[in-house]
């Protein structure tokens, strides 16, 4: 009876540990040195946290400032040849002089989040494979 209870407790603890580590891998940091547009919203320069939901290449990304979600955008997970040594925000210049966030790369991860037009390009290139 004791062994059975201890085994159940061990299995429950292991499942909780695995679930926690799985959720931890779906977030990262984002530092913006200048204001950027993200799906029609302007984000000021500063530090943000990015969390995404979904297991496949198409995910929903939430950009958070502290505990507040400031933008939620569809994104596409893209594979990188190698993991970057630091977090990076990839931006593009718009015709009006503003900048848009197109990709978020995370230190030590071989996947990045493509956003906006970049996500659409990634989806279409995967569909043609």
Taking the chain (129 residues) in runs of 10, the rounded mean pLDDT of each run is: 58 48 70 94 96 90 96 94 94 94 95 80 54
User: What number of other Cβ atoms are within 10 A of residue 78's Cβ?
Assistant: 20
Q: Show the tokens assigned to 12.
A: 């429950």
Residue 49 confidence (pLDDT): 97
Query: Taking a C-beta distance cutoff of 8 angstroms, is the pair 32, 89 a contact?
Result: yes
CA angle 54, 83, 73 (to 5 degrees): 35
pLDDT at 20 (0 to 100): 40
Q: Are 112 and 89 in contact (CB under 8 A)?
A: no
- The pLDDT of residue 54 is 87
C-alpha to C-alpha distance for 55 and 40, rounded to whole angstroms: 25
Residue 27 pLDDT: 93
Query: What pLDDT is stored for residue 10 in this prediction?
Result: 54
As a whole number of angstroms, the distance between CA 125 and CA 92 comes to 20
Q: Is 73:38 a contact under the CB 8 Å cutoff?
A: yes
């Amino acid at each position: 009876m004791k062994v059975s209870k201890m085994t159940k407790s061990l299995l429950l603890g292991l499942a909780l540990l695995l679930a926690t580590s799985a959720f931890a891998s779906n977030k990262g940091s984002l530092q913006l040195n200048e204001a950027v547009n993200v799906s029609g919203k302007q984000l000021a320069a500063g530090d943000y946290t990015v969390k995404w939901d979904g297991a496949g290449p198409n995910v929903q990304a939430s950009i958070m400032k502290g505990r507040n979600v400031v933008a939620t955008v569809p994104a596409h997970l893209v594979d990188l040849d190698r993991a970057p040594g630091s977090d990076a925000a990839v931006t593009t210049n718009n015709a009006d002089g503003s900048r848009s966030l197109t990709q978020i790369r995370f230190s030590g991860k071989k996947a990045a989040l493509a956003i906006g037009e970049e996500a659409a390009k990634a989806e279409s290139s995967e569909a043609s494979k």
